[in-house]
Structure formats: C-alpha cells, structure tokens
Amino acid sequence: MTMPAHSVLFADPREAADLAAFLGRLLHYDRAAAVRLQATGGALAVFGRPPSFDVLAIRTARLAGAGTGSPETFDVTVSAGEFLETLDPESPTGAAGVLPGPVTGPPWTGMLPPRGPWRELPGLPGPQELRTALNTAVGEFRTRDEALPEDRRTRAERDLIGREIWSRPVGGTPLPLRAVHAAQSLGFLRPQPDLPVGLLAAGSWLRLRSPYGSVALRTEGSGSLGALQLSVGRR
C-alpha cells in the first residue's frame, strides 16, 4: 500500500542537521540501511542498526508540530538514504523533511528496547577514560593484526581478534567495549571533557547514553543482536 507523503517539521535547523549527520554515519556502514521512525509527544526517535557493532542506535529530534498533512504521531520503517535526501535544514519554511514510503523492515525493527523503567548502573568511566580505552583497543588490534603470520592473515583471524577485544567489559560494568566504539563512531561521544554519559539497564537491555544519542544492546545470554540483526538508545 502506498503511504501518502507527510512533511516533518523540526523545531530548529540544528535538529535536522544533526539527524542528517547521524543518518549519513549509518549509511557509511550500510548503504541499504533502514531506520524505524517513531514520532510522538513532539519528538521524533530514529532507530538504526550499524552492522559492524551489533548494537541498536537511536537519535532523537524535537519537532515543531504537525506539518501540512502530517500525522500527529507515526511509527514507520523507511530507507535511511531516502529519508536523508529529503532533509533540508535550510528550508524557508523551517527545517523540514518528508517521510518516504515504508519498506519491509529487517528483523531488528520489531525488537526495540523497552521504554522503561531504566535504572542507572554505577562504574562507567568518564568520557576521557572511554576515549582512552578505545584508542588503546584500536592500537592493540593493529599490533596483533600486524603480528599475524602471512598464512593466518585472513578475515576470520582478524574477526577473532576483534571479537576478543571489543567484547571486553568497560570498567566495572557489563557494557562491552564495542558499544563505546559504536557510540564514538556514530558521533555520540564527542571530545568534551564534561560530556555527561550514563549507563542504564532495563531487563536484559543495556543502554549507553549521551546528550547526542544512545546505543543499546542485550546482555550476554539473553540473545545476541547479531543473531537477530539488531540495536538502540535515547538522545
């Protein structure tokens, strides 16, 4: 069924610009990426799954209100690329976008994290310590990769090294380092010494949150996101 076009008006051009940057990062990892869009209460939540990290990612944006012909609330899965092409932070009528036609979503779109309640977990290092841990891990991967003998320099061997490094817990928390890597790669961890970051839990889900977006994943033993092809967060 063809869905009629609906305009989406953002509260501020920066909201549309930041959302466009997030979509561009998702498309860097998957040119055919789909995103699930949920609008309610004056906010738009955009869920995506960067396949390299086995997490869900989410970015939110404030809406200016219902646009011409736009439903007050909606929940639809669309092409990330098509949605990005419609975003226009310089629109004379205000930062705007248009909902593309819906697509058949991948399995993860039906497996979003719960709305709550979320509880804060202690032990998460500060933003500078997180960036240091990431830099150390990247350096270790390169060193171990370069040390592989020629007959073992295969994708499978490199994947084994990567899984071992990125599955390590962060500080005294159950959060794997790959979630921090995802947050950094998606622009959620920015070089601000006082950036507020937090770790939250709800049931079998963990969520790493910053003011710029979140990543979420399920804890070990509760079902891998990779097996289901999934990922989340909240701005």
Nearest one of 222, 210, 136, 139 to 174, comparing CA atoms:
222
**Structural domain boundaries in the chain:** 119-199
**Residues near 213 by Cβ (< 8 Å), separated by ≥ 6?**
22, 57, 58, 59, 60, 183, 186, 187, 188, 233, 234, 235
Query: 235 falls in which pLDDT band (50, 70, 90)?
Result: very low
Residue with tokens 């932070």: 89
Per residue in 116-136, pLDDT tens?
Answer: 899 999 999 999 999 999 999
Report the share of the chain in percent with pLDDT over 70: 85
Q: In the predicted model, what is the mean pLDDT of residues 23-43? A: 94
Q: Which pTM value belongs to this model?
A: 0.84
Strand partners, 21: none
Residue with tokens 């466009």: 20
Report the share of the chain in percent with pLDDT over 90: 66
Q: In the predicted model, what is the mean pLDDT of residues 174-191? A: 94
Per residue in 62-97, pLDDT tens?
Answer: 998 644 445 568 999 999 999 999 987 666 555 788
